Structure formats: C-alpha cells, structure tokens
Amino acid sequence: MNNRRVVRIVAIILALIMLFSVFMIAINALTASAVTQAEIDKLKAQKQEFQRQKREIQSRINTIEFEKMSEIARKQVLDDRIMLIGMEIDNIIETIEFYVTLISEKELEVIAAQEREDQQLYKYKKRVRDMEENGVISYLEIIFDSTDFADMLARLDFVGDIMHADEETYYDLKRAQEETEAAKERLEQTKLEMEEEKLLQESMQLELEERLDEANALIEAIEADLESERALRAEVEADEEKIQREINKKVEELRRAQEAARAAAASSAASRVRGTGQLKWPVPSNGSVSSGFGMRMHPVYKVYRQHSGIDIPAKHGANVVAADTGTVITSAYNSSYGNYVVISHGNGVTTLYAHLSSRKVKENATVTKGDVIGLIGSTGVSTGPHLHFEVSVNGSRINPLLRL
C-alpha cells in the first residue's frame, strides 16, 4: 500500500514537471511566432509593391517612347528594373530566413502539443485502469452505502460528477490529439510556403541574369559604334568631373561643419569621425583588378581613355564595404556611375564606390571600416558586375592601390 502511494506521488510530481515544461515551450513558441509571422506579412507586402513597380517599368519599356530614348536613358530604365529585381530577391532571401525561424518555432509547437497529448493520454489510461479495477461495483457501493434517501440523492450527484469528469478526460484527450494534428498541419504548411519562396528565388535569379545580359548588350552595342562610343565617353568624362567637383564641395562643407562643431566643443559624431588612413579592400575577394588606374586602351578602336579608378570584379549582389571609417557625403544615382556612394574619411581623403546594384547607406550617415554600404552591380555605363573604386586626396584622384 505504501509503495503504491509513493509511486502515485512520484507520478504526480513528474506530471506537474512535464506540464510546466510544455506550458513554457508553448508560450515561448507562440509569442515568437506571432512576431515572425508579422514580419513575413510585411515582407510579402513589400514584394507586392516591388512587383507593381516592375510592371510599371515594363509598361514603359513596351512603349514606342522607350525606343526613341537615348541609349543612356534606356540603360537607366533597364537599371531601374534590374534594381527592383535585386530588391525582390533580397526580399525573398529575408523571407526565407524568417521561414527557417518560423519552422523551428512550429516544430516546438508540435513538440509541446504532442507532450500535452501524451499527458492527457496518460491521465485517460490511468482512469481506464481504475475503472477496470473497480468499475460499476464501486459506483453501486457508493450508492448502497447511503443512510437515507437524501444521502442517496447526494451520492447519485457525486457519481454523476465522477462520470462527467471521466467524460471530460476523454474529450480532453481528443482535443489534445486534434491540437497535435493542427500543429503538424501548420508546420507542413509553413514548410510548403518556404519551398515556394525558394522556387521563386530561383526564378527571379534567372530573370535577373537575363536582364543583366540585356543591359550589358545595350552598352556593348554603344561601344561597338565609334560615334556612339565617343559620345558615351564624353558624357562619362563630363560626369566624372562634375562628380569630383561635387565631392570637393561637400568635403569642404563637411570640414567647415566639423571645425564649427569642434570650436563649439560639440560632442557630435561628425567632429570625431576620422579614418585610419589605411584603406580596406572594399570587396570580399582575392584582390584581383580587371581594369587598373590610368590610361587604358579601347579594345576595338585602340584609343586611350583615362580610367579614374580601378575595377574590381565580383559576383552580382556581393557586399561592398566601407574602405575606412568616415561620413557618407553622397549616396545617389548617375547615368554614368549608376548607383554610387562617396565617403569622406577626413584629412582630405575620399573614396567612391560605383555601379552598385543598390545602396545601403544615406547621406550624412557615419560608417565604420568594414560596414556594408552597397551591393555589387552593373548600373550606369558598365558591362558585367564589378565595383568601380576611386580614391581622391585633396580633390585629386590617385591610384587606389597606393592606399590599399
């Protein structure tokens, strides 16, 4: 008798521990899941907006006016479409990452639901064993032991409560089983949605490659024609000088602002931002350069052109990082440079990152060496994904390799 009582007490303690662990797992999983699902819904809304903008751009491309545009203007429209495709791919990748987290949470939900079901099954089986041992006889003993009619009615109510509790135990088990099945179905549905996103990513990647080929073909066609190539290079050189003047102007404005901040003993970040002077390679790669600084010859017409920076080949969408700590003084799009970012590092040193597929920083932002500022692309006058990287010292461009 004492052994049975000890076993019963231990069983109750274990059941309570199991119930508490199930409760905590369920609460944590459900709380995190609600937040993650909201993030997924937000990303899906963004994706729909990207798709709407892509349709608008495609409708422009399909018009007669597009054919009448200059080659550079047409390239800019194509760049806009490519940028949106890239943003949509980034959106899909982020969505998949959320789905991975959500699947982990759904798996915890299944575990919690299964443990609740096991707990209910344990209670149900225990009650069935008790009924097998005592059964109807125990109910009759309770009734026949009554002292009078009123006592018998009270005992009948008591027996009814026991039978109702037995019924509830059965239905609790059924509900727990249904919850387990529902949790498993939600898990499978989430996995299915993630697989759909993966298929969409593959499709979008193929579309991106097709559109990049189309944009590259346009620039190659321009460069294949001598007159078009001359006009193109003249425009690029004019843009280079214009951008350098803007850089010099903004550097001077930033210098004055920093001097004013220091004079006023301000504690602003701008007054403290200074680079180390030693530049970091801006693209995670083996340090290869496809086109160096200085004069380079056109492959067809054998005409020398000035190249104001170095070209670093990299995979489309690869990270571009700040070569040194500094302040972003430009984050914009230009028909020649495409998406480009300029960072002032103090002491008259600036770096420029061009042909980006997208920009990750805004003007006046403070960046630390190694921070991601954009992604590799082929926007502007560019054929093939690469980074055009420039370094200027006191308003004059220098060979970046001298500082890397």
Two tokens at 288?
């290869």
DSSP 8-state secondary structure symbol assigned to residue 130: H
Task: Tell me which of 166, 192, 221 is where a domain ends.
Answer: 221
Q: For CA atoms 27, 30, 34, 37, give the dihedral sign.
A: positive
Does residue 296 lie in a domain region? Answer: yes
Instruction: Measure the CA–CA gap between 313 and 324, rounded to whole angstroms.
Output: 20
CB neighbour burial string for 261-278, b if at least 16 within 10 angstroms, e if fewer: beeeeeeeeebebebeee
Does residue 226 lie in a domain region? Answer: no
Task: Tell me which of 176, 191, 221 is where a domain ends.
Answer: 221
**Roughly how many angstroms between the first and final C-alpha of the chain, as a whole number?**
84
What is the H or E stretch that residue 110 is in?
A: helix 71-133
Number of structural domains (the chain) is: 2
pLDDT band at 155 (very low <50, low <70, confident <90, very high): low
Q: Are residues 114 and 161 in the same domain?
A: yes
pLDDT, average across residues 2-10: 45
Query: Looking at residue 201, what is its pLDDT?
Result: 93
Q: Are residues 299 and 209 in the same domain?
A: no
Does residue 232 lie in a domain region? Answer: no
Instruction: Measure the CA–CA gap between 294 and 243, rounded to whole angstroms.
Output: 18
Residue 299 has pLDDT above 80, yes or no: no
Note the maximum CA span of the chain.
120
Q: For CA atoms 169, 170, 173, 175, give the dihedral sign.
A: negative
Arithmetic mean of pLDDT over the chain: 80
Does residue 304 lie in a domain region? Answer: yes
Query: Looking at residue 375, what is its pLDDT?
Result: 95
Q: What angle do CA 287, 290, 294 make, to 5 degrees?
A: 105
Q: Which residue has the higher pLDDT, 174 or 375?
A: 375
Q: Are residues 263 and 214 in the same domain?
A: no
Residue 43, classed as helix, strand or coil, is: helix
Contact 346, 279 (CB under 8 A): no
Query: Looking at residue 223, what is its pLDDT?
Result: 75
Residue 334 has pLDDT above 80, yes or no: yes
Q: Are residues 263 and 190 in the same domain?
A: no
Q: For CA atoms 183, 189, 192, 193, give the dihedral sign.
A: negative
How does pLDDT run across 172-229, given as a tens digit for each residue? 778 888 888 988 999 999 999 999 999 999 999 999 999 999 998 888 887 777 677 7
Instruction: Measure the CA–CA gap between 295 and 311, rounded to whole angstroms.
Output: 13
Contact 390, 343 (CB under 8 A): no
Two tokens at 242?
């214009």
DSSP 8-state secondary structure symbol assigned to residue 296: E
Instruction: Measure the CA–CA gap between 213 and 351, rounded to whole angstroms.
Output: 29
Strand-pair category, 319-321 with 372-375: antiparallel
Contacts of 33 (CB under 8 A, 6+ apart): 102, 105, 106, 109
What phi and psi, each to the nearest 5 degrees, are found at residue 39?
A: -65, -40
Closest CA to 334 of 59, 56, 79: 79
Task: Tell me which of 169, 195, 221 is where a domain ends.
Answer: 221
Does residue 230 lie in a domain region? Answer: no
Report the predicted TM-score, pTM, of the whole model to 2 decimal places.
Answer: 0.68
Query: Looking at residue 132, what is its pLDDT?
Result: 57
Burial of 374 (0-12, 13-18, 19+ CB in 10 A): buried
pLDDT, average across residues 318-331: 95
Q: Give the CA-trace dihedral at 302, 304, 310, 313, to 10 degrees.
A: -10
Residue 242 has pLDDT above 80, yes or no: yes
Does residue 181 lie in a domain region? Answer: yes
Query: Looking at residue 172, what is its pLDDT?
Result: 77
Alpha-carbon separation of residue 158 from 136, 148, 164 (angstroms): 14, 15, 10
Query: Looking at residue 7, what is its pLDDT?
Result: 42
Q: What is the domain extent for residue 31?
A: 2-221
Half-sphere exposure of residue 371: CA atoms within 13 angstroms, side-chain side: 17
The winner for highest mean pLDDT among 54-63, 147-156, 159-168, 290-299 is: 54-63
Q: Are residues 74 and 123 in the same domain?
A: yes
How does pLDDT run across 22-35, given as a tens digit for each residue? 444 444 444 444 55
Does residue 276 lie in a domain region? Answer: yes
Q: Are residues 335 and 369 in the same domain?
A: yes
Q: Are residues 65 and 200 in the same domain?
A: yes
Instruction: Measure the CA–CA gap between 241 and 247, rounded to whole angstroms.
Output: 10
Residues in the chain: 404
Q: Are residues 133 and 214 in the same domain?
A: yes
Q: For position 300, which CATH number holds?
A: 2.70.70.10
Q: Are residues 80 and 214 in the same domain?
A: yes
How does pLDDT run across 85-142, given as a tens digit for each residue? 999 999 999 999 889 988 988 899 899 889 988 888 887 777 667 655 555 445 555 5
Q: Are residues 130 and 57 in the same domain?
A: yes
Q: Are residues 241 and 158 in the same domain?
A: no
DSSP 8-state secondary structure symbol assigned to residue 290: S
Does residue 300 lie in a domain region? Answer: yes
Q: Are residues 262 and 343 in the same domain?
A: yes
